[in-house]
Amino acid sequence: MSAGKLEAELCKWRAAGRRPLLWWRDDDAVAVTPELERLAQITGNANVDVLLAVIPAHVDGGLAEYLAQQDHLKPCLHGWSHENHAPAGEKKCELGHHRELDVVLDEIAAGRQRLSDLFGSGFVPVLVPPWNRMRKDLAARLCEAGIRAFSTFSHKRSHPEIQVNTHVDVMNWKAAGGAAGKATDQVLDELAAALGTSRANGGYPVGVLTHHLVHDEAAWSSLSCLLAYAELEWVPFEEALGHQPRTTS
Ligand SMILES: [Zn+2]
């Protein structure tokens, strides 16, 4: 394994007397599966918190009982049913402009209610829009649906006060033959680049994005490699929110 770019980037953090921070988001949880148990195990062993985006329309009641025993996995809201409302040819989107804003907001409020009934005080009122996209006018209205922050995938943010994004995806969604885990070297290179962008903009935590249900051994292997880096400090979502620069970047 070559980790030259990451080592070079970590050197720059060291020289600046700073520590790179990471945070972890995992999407599409609906039930207790062997893959979720594997995620819980590797992150639990490493003492790393995970913001777990749960699809309310499809959630299985057994997930609440399980998460009550895994308090490092923090359930939050992943849209309503992960249904695409965009027409063919457009990027997939559940919470887009294809329906009235009030309809979308009602759906989010219903999802939040379902998950807070299910998970009680363990529920984190944060929205992860399916496919990491949503209509632009939704962010300012999320508080009306009981949601206090949201998370997508980009270094750019439209709402710095309430937006905590992810930046490194361990999956390649366009691989021939369907989604496949990226090679570890590629993940490390992408992490190095993301840390470089963060370092140049105040040193905010870099978000790692995973989808436990579709991981192959390559994806799991990259994650084990990241967890083995003692220099990378993993912080919970709340801390990542507190570390965000207050300006758009
Ligand atoms: Zn999703």
Each residue of 139-192: pLDDT tens digit?
Answer: 999 999 999 999 999 999 999 899 999 999 999 999 988 899 999 999 999 999
Question: Does some domain include residue 247?
Answer: no
What is the per-residue pLDDT for 109?
A: 98
Q: Which residues contact 116 (CB under 8 A, 6 or more apart)?
A: 123, 125, 146
Q: If you measure from the C-alpha of residue 53 to the centroid of ligand 1, how many angstroms do you get, rounded to a whole number?
A: 8
What is the per-residue pLDDT for 245?
A: 75
Which residues, chain by chain, have CB under 5 Å from ion ligand 1? 27-28, 130
Domain CATH code at residue 203: 3.20.20.370
Phi and psi, residue 39, nearest 5° = -60, -45
Residue 144 CB-density burial (10 A; 0-12 exposed, 13-18 middle, 19+ buried): exposed
CB 125 within 8 A of CB 148: yes
Question: Does some domain include residue 110?
Answer: yes
Q: If you measure from the C-alpha of residue 105 to the centroid of ligand 1, how many angstroms do you get, rounded to a whole number?
A: 18
What is the per-residue pLDDT for 244?
A: 79
Q: If you measure from the C-alpha of residue 102 to the centroid of ligand 1, how many angstroms do you get, rounded to a whole number?
A: 22
Question: Does some domain include residue 207?
Answer: yes
Q: Is this model's pTM higher than 0.75 or not? A: yes
Q: Which pLDDT tens digit goes with each residue over 58-95?
A: 999 899 999 999 999 999 999 999 999 999 999 999 99
Question: Does some domain include residue 249?
Answer: no
The arithmetic mean of pLDDT across residues 227-247, rounded, is: 90
**What does the alpha-carbon distance between residue 88 and residue 191 come to, in Å, rounded to a whole number?**
33
**What does the alpha-carbon distance between residue 176 and residue 108 come to, in Å, rounded to a whole number?**
34
CB 112 within 8 A of CB 146: yes
Q: 3-state DSSP call for residue 40? A: helix
CB 78 within 8 A of CB 86: no
**What does the alpha-carbon distance between residue 86 and residue 226 come to, in Å, rounded to a whole number?**
35
Flag whether pLDDT at 249 surpasses 70.
no
Question: Does some domain include residue 248?
Answer: no
What is the per-residue pLDDT for 243?
A: 87
Q: If you measure from the C-alpha of residue 82 to the centroid of ligand 1, how many angstroms do you get, rounded to a whole number?
A: 7
Question: Does some domain include residue 188?
Answer: yes
**What does the alpha-carbon distance between residue 238 and residue 164 come to, in Å, rounded to a whole number?**
9
Q: If you measure from the C-alpha of residue 130 to the centroid of ligand 1, how many angstroms do you get, rounded to a whole number?
A: 4
What is the per-residue pLDDT for 247?
A: 65
Q: Please give the structure tokens belonging to residue 192.
A: 């190095």
Range of the domain at 59: 4-242
In the chain, the number of structural domains is 1
Q: Please give the structure tokens belonging to residue 80.
A: 């309503």
**What does the alpha-carbon distance between residue 131 and residue 136 come to, in Å, rounded to a whole number?**
14
Q: Which pLDDT tens digit goes with each residue over 11-47?
A: 999 999 999 999 999 999 999 999 999 999 999 999 9
Cα-based distances in Å from 239 to 10, 22, 81, 117, 233: 21, 10, 28, 25, 12
Residue 172: beta bridge partners? 180
**What's the N-to-C CA distance of the chain in angstroms?**
32
